[in-house]
Amino acid sequence: QVQLVESGGGLVQPGGSLRLSCAASGFTFSDYAMSWYRQAPGSERELVAGIDRGGNKIYTDSVKGRFTISRDNAKNTVYLQMNSLKPEDTGVYYCKAVLRVMATTYENWGQGTQVTVSS
């Protein structure tokens, strides 16, 4: 029943913008930290941005100043606003929900949405 459904990906030119959305259901959204990961062809999946229950945000260095993560608990949705996109931002973007309980971490992943940045 836990579902994370990403949307908003597509093809965009360098310098363009996209906003990704991740709609969550099947769990208490406000209890979870939410994150966006991406995976380029031939590369490891990497953390792009994260936001915890209190609204604290983290970003990987390569996207700082360009990407913004946000969440709307009333809509059970997390967003990733991506500006000034670069070809190296290309990849499949995945939404992840994380619940940390003492030494145990519970994770749920979405199916991903493709982002392609190309001229």
Digit-by-digit pLDDT tens for the chain (119 residues) are 789 999 999 999 999 999 999 999 999 999 999 999 999 999 999 999 999 999 999 999 999 999 999 999 999 999 999 999 999 999 999 999 999 989 999 999 999 999 999 99
Structure tokens at 27: 């769990």
b/e 44-73 (16+ beta carbons within 10 angstroms → b): eeeebbbbeeeeeeebeeebeeebbbebeb
**Amino acid identity at 30:** S
- Other C-beta atoms closer than 10 Å to the C-beta of 5 total 14
Among candidate residues 83, 78, 2, 75, the one with its CA nearest the CA of residue 36: 78
DSSP-derived secondary structure letter, 26? S
